């Protein structure tokens, strides 16, 4: 009998995240929406969803000490997946409508407004999957669903041996921005896999398959 990996979807007051739970279940997980610290700590994987403004999401995360939970998991090499604003807050800062907010700082750099004539970037778009991507295995040429006006548009993390270079996936809307990052146990997508149909389910399944291997790899510093 196949054991379904236990995935905690962090419940910190973000918008409707039940679709993420349903998509993870469809991808093969035992997924639970929870703020239980023990479950978040011990689950095979943690998903950090995010809808809305960068500053509001950071306030909600800190209110339940979610920043500590995320950092402790990563310090122990345990898998975390950020989605949409859940990806953005992993960076050092977010600048939104003139408001500069400190992020979780797992990666250096700022999340800023896209340079595009029409915002938000809403709808389906293709991506340029990074070489050797595990997340995009089998869906490199598929389209994914985006809803956002801000993104990380540069990557500045410096890596040193023996750590592997993170796998970066880019998308174009007005200008290039990061659509996904795979960095040891820490992965994130700017798009919504739970709203991306069969391709999104396959991507989540790929993440689930990599949980064991990712948990053995330290985060790149």
Residue 192 annotated in active site:
yes
Taking only Cα atoms into account, the Rg of the chain, rounded to an integer number of angstroms, comes to: 16
Encoding tokens for residue 44?
């095979």
Residue 84 annotated in active site:
yes
Active-site residue (options: 84, 121, 142, 148): 84
Task: List alpha helices for the chain, DSSP H.
Answer: 18-27, 37-42, 54-63, 66-75, 85-88, 197-209, 211-215
CA pair distance 182, 107, nearest whole angstrom: 12
CA pair distance 67, 106, nearest whole angstrom: 10
Q: Which residues contact 138 (CB under 8 A, 6 or more apart)?
A: 202, 206
Residue 142 annotated in active site:
no
Active-site residue (options: 106, 148, 182, 192): 192
Active-site residue (options: 96, 106, 182, 194): 194
| Residue among 27, 65, 61 nearest 45 (CA) | 27
Which residues are known to be catalytic? Answer: 84, 192, 194
């Amino acid at each position: 009998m196949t054991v379904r990996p236990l995935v905690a979807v962090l419940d910190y007051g973000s918008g409707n995240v039940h679709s993420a739970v349903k998509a993870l279940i469809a991808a093969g997980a035992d997924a639970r929406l929870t703020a239980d610290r023990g479950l978040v700590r011990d689950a095979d994987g943690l998903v950090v969803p995010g809808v809305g403004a960068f500053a509001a999401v950071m306030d909600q995360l800190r209110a339940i000490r979610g920043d500590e939970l995320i950092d402790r998991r990563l310090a122990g090499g345990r898998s975390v997946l950020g989605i949409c604003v859940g990806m953005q807050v992993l960076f050092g800062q977010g600048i939104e409508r003139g408001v500069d907010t400190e992020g979780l700082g797992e990666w250096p750099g700022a999340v800023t407004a896209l340079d595009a004539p029409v915002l938000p970037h809403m709808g389906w778009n293709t991506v340029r999957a990074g070489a050797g991507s595990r997340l995009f295995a089998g869906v490199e040429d598929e389209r994914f669903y985006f809803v956002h006006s801000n993104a990380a548009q540069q990557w500045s993390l410096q890596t040193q041996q023996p750590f592997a270079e993170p796998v970066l996936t880019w998308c174009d809307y007005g200008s290039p921005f990061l659509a996904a990052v795979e960095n040891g146990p820490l992965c994130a997508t700017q798009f919504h896999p739970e709203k991306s149909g069969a391709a999104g389910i396959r991507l989540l399944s790929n993440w689930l398959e990599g949980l064991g291997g990712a948990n053995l790899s330290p985060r790149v510093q």
